[in-house]
Amino acid sequence: MVKKVRSENTTFGSDTHSFKVPMGTTAQRVREGSAEAGQMRYNTSLAALEYYNGSSWVVLDVAPEITSISPSTIVEDGSTTTEVTITGSGFNAGTAVSLVSDDAASTITPSTVTFVNSTTLRFTCSAGQISAVTGLGADFNSAKSPFDVKVTSAGGKANTLANALSINSQIYWITAGGNLTNTFSGNRSVSATVEARDPESQAITYSVTTGSLPAGVSLNANTGAITGTDSNPGTVTTYNFEITATDGTNTNNQYFNIVSYPQTTETFTSTGTFTVPDGLTSVDVLVVAGGGGGGGQCNLGGGGGGGGLIYRPGLPITPGSPIAVTVGGAGSGGWNGTDPSQRGGTSQFAALAAIGGGGGGAFSGGAPGGSGGGGGGNSFQQPTTQGGTGTQPQQAGESGSYGFGNPGGTGAQGNFGPGGAAGGGGAGGRGSDFPNGAGGAGRNYSISGSPVDYAGGGGGNNNGAGNGGGGACGNPGTANRGGGGGGDSQPGGSGIVIVQY
C-alpha cells in the first residue's frame, strides 16, 4: 500500500514500505539551471539515485567492491581478445573499469565494459591493447604484470583488487626456421638443438606435430635436442617437420627441415677444388702421390717408388669452405734416381700432403720419396747400391700419422741385380740374380666403390711389378694409381685423390 506524505513528520507503517521517486535516463534529467536544489530522481542510465545540489546533479552511490575475476590470467599474443568477468557488489551501469600495471606506470582502459547486474561486470581489451603496454615475446616487460583491477563508481568512489590479472605472453623462438642440418654418409650422426623461450621463464616442452624426422632420429621433449643416426634411403631426401613449443598454456610453432644425402664419392685425377656442401663436417679421403720413374735399362735399373699414400677417415672440414686439391703427376724415367724429374709429384688435400715416389737407380742407389726407389745393378767389383728411404710416415702432422711408404730394395752386385721399388704397403725386393727385385706391394681400399690397390712399387726385373699400379721392368706405372715405373727408365703413374662422404 502506498502511503501519502502528509507532513514533514510523516512516518511509514512498516520498514518494508517504500516510496517511488521520479526516474529516467541521464538525457531525461531536468536541465541544470532549471532544476531546483533538493530535487531527487533515479537515473536509469546509471542505475543509481541522484540529487540536484543547486548547480549539478550528484550521484548517490557507494564504492563498488571486487571479490574475484575470471580468468585471472590472459594469454596474450597481440591479436586475440579475452573477456574477463568481475564478481563483486555495488556495480551499476556507470561503473568504470581500469587496469593498473604492476609498476604503476601504465593504466589501460578496456575497450568494452558491460554491466550485467549489481554483482557482475565484464570487460574486454581490444587486440593489442595489453601488448602495447607489456610488449610481446622477447620484448615482454615482466615489470608490467600482474595488473591491479580497479572499479570506479560514477560518483568517483573506487576499490582495487591488487595483482589480480596476470599476462601470459607469447612463447618466442630463438632458433630460426628452415634447415637445421644436412647429414651425409660419412657423418651420419645428427646433432642439432631447437630452442624456444617463455617470457615468464616457464618450462618449455617440444613435440613434432606435423611431418617427420629422419628414421633413427628423435626429439628430446624437454631440451629440444635432435639426435640419432640417420638411415638414408639411398637418395637425397628432405625431411620437413613442424615443432610445437608449449609452456602448458601458450604454444608457438616453427617449421624446420633436415636434408639427408646418400653416400657420395668424388674422384680427382687432376688438380681442382672440392666444394664442401653446407652441413658437411667430415670426409674420408685417400690421397695418393705420383709414382717415381724407373732407372737405367732392364736388368740394370731399379724400379721407381710408389707414390706416398695417405688414408684419413673422418677428416674434419669446415662446411661451405672450398678445399684446393692437387694431384701429383708421374715421375719421368731416367738413368739415375737422383734426377729430380724422376720423383713423382706431390698430391694434396687440405693439410694432407702425399709425397711423390722416389726414382729408381742404375749403377746408383734409389732416391728417397713417399716410397723409396729401388737400387740399380752394379759391377761385380763395386759395392751394392741402396734403395731409397720411404719418407711418407715421417711427414709432419696427419700427413705422417695417416701416411704409408716404405724403403726401396737394395741392388745386388752385377747386372741382373737391380732392386725393386717400395710400395705403399711393403718394401721393395732386394736384387740378386734374375728374376729378383720385385716391386713392393701397394695398399688396397674400397673408397672408390670397389677394392683397388694403390701405390705399388715398380719392378727392377722383367716380372717384378708390385701390385697397386707398379710397372714391371719395361712397363710404366699405372695412371691414377700412383704406381712406380719399372726399370728401363719407365715413367711412374700419376696420383689420385678420392673423397667420400
Give the CATH number, domain containing residue 198: 2.60.40.10
Among 260, 292, 309, where does a domain finish?
260
Q: What is the pLDDT of residue 433?
A: 45
625431411: which residue's cell? 239
Q: What is the pLDDT of residue 107?
A: 98
What three-state secondary structure class fits 400? helix
Residues 391 and 427 grouped into a single domain: yes
Residue 9, domain member (yes or no): no
Contact 59, 42 (CB under 8 A): no
Among 234, 260, 286, where does a domain finish?
260
Q: Which three cell numbers stand for residue 298?
A: 732392364
Residues 33 and 132 grouped into a single domain: no
Contact 293, 482 (CB under 8 A): no
Q: What is the pLDDT of residue 429?
A: 57
CB atoms < 10 A from the CB of 185, how many?
Answer: 16
Cα 342 from Cα 333, distance rounded (Å): 6
Q: What is the largest CA-CA distance in the chain?
A: 163
Burial status of residue 381 (CB atoms within 10 A of its CB: 0-12, 13-18, 19 or more): exposed
Tens digits of per-residue pLDDT, 378-426?
655 556 788 889 999 999 999 999 999 988 888 766 555 566 666 665 6
Contact 483, 455 (CB under 8 A): yes
Residues 390 and 457 grouped into a single domain: yes
Residue 473, domain member (yes or no): yes
Sheet holding 48-52, edge to edge: 23-24, 40-43, 48-52, 57-60
Q: What is the pLDDT of residue 349?
A: 98
The closest alpha carbon to 331, from 303, 292, 370, 297, belongs to 292
Residues 487 and 394 grouped into a single domain: yes
Residue 485, domain member (yes or no): yes
Residues 273 and 361 grouped into a single domain: yes
Among 260, 292, 326, where does a domain finish?
260
CB atoms < 10 A from the CB of 279, how many?
Answer: 18
Q: What is the pLDDT of residue 43?
A: 86
Q: What is the pLDDT of residue 2?
A: 47
Cα 375 from Cα 394, distance rounded (Å): 21
Residue 11, domain member (yes or no): no
734409389: which residue's cell? 366
Residues 410 and 462 grouped into a single domain: yes
Residues 6+ positions from 276 with CB-CB distance below 8 Å: 317, 318, 319, 320, 321, 322, 323
Q: What is the pLDDT of residue 414?
A: 57
Cα 263 from Cα 236, distance rounded (Å): 10
Residues 127 and 178 grouped into a single domain: no
Q: What is the pLDDT of residue 58?
A: 85
Sheet holding 158-169, edge to edge: 73-76, 158-169, 147-152, 96-100, 107-108
Amino acid at 63: A
Contact 371, 493 (CB under 8 A): no
Residues 160 and 225 grouped into a single domain: no
Residue 74, domain member (yes or no): yes
Cα 425 from Cα 420, distance rounded (Å): 13
The mean pLDDT values, 10 residues at a time, for the chain of 501 residues are 50 66 90 86 84 88 93 91 96 93 97 95 96 94 96 91 95 96 82 95 96 96 96 89 95 96 94 91 95 84 90 92 96 88 97 95 85 68 76 95 89 61 61 62 92 90 67 88 91 97 91
What three-state secondary structure class fits 394? helix
DSSP string, 122-180: EEEPPTTTTHHHH--GGG--GGG-SEEEEEE-TTS-EEEEEEEEEEEEPPEESSPSEEE
Residues 490 and 418 grouped into a single domain: yes
Cα 381 from Cα 147, distance rounded (Å): 109
Residues 285 and 186 grouped into a single domain: no
Residue 288, domain member (yes or no): yes
Residues 350 and 470 grouped into a single domain: yes
Residues 203 and 299 grouped into a single domain: no
- Number of structural domains found in the chain: 4
Residue 317, domain member (yes or no): yes
Question: What DSSP character marks residue 296?
Answer: S
By residue range, what is the domain housing residue 425?
265-501
Cα 243 from Cα 325, distance rounded (Å): 41
Residue 224, domain member (yes or no): yes
